[in-house]
């Protein structure tokens, strides 16, 4: 499964009401570190297929969701479980660190 891109209108359906855990990557086109972690998130999406959905939301085009969840810098990744933000990681990190954070959070 590949990383999905959503907008503010789809956030509740795809994240809050999701059947399983969801990692949300709050990002923007101009953000170098956001682009740096994108390939790792694509790979992790395949590795966690069926266990975790990975979704990206562009904060410039969708200001409502990042404001609601207090995103102050990007990239910010949040894992949502049962409609609640359960874990947050701010800043770029190597794939191995992101994977460890996911494993600790699930």
Is there a contact between 18 and 80 (Cβ–Cβ < 8 Å)? Answer: yes
Residue 34 annotated in active site: yes
Residue 64 annotated in active site: no
Active-site residue, selected from the candidate residues 22, 23, 31, 93: 31
Active-site residue, selected from the candidate residues 34, 59, 78, 79: 34
Task: Give the largest Cα separation in the chain, rounded.
Answer: 32
Angle between helices 95-105 and 32-47 (to 10 degrees): 60
Is there a contact between 3 and 56 (Cβ–Cβ < 8 Å)? Answer: yes
Active-site residues, by number, are 31, 34
């Amino acid at each position: 499964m590949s990383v999905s891109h959503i907008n503010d209108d789809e956030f509740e359906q795809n994240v809050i009401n999701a059947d399983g855990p969801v990692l949300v990557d709050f990002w923007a086109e101009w953000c170098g570190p956001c682009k740096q972690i994108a390939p790792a998130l694509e790979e992790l999406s395949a590795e966690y297929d069926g266990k975790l959905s990975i979704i990206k939301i562009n904060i410039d085009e969708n200001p409502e969701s990042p404001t609601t969840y207090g995103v102050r810098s990007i990239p910010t990744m949040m894992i949502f479980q049962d409609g609640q933000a359960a874990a947050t990681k701010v800043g770029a990190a190597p794939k191995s660190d992101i994977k460890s954070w996911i494993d600790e959070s699930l």
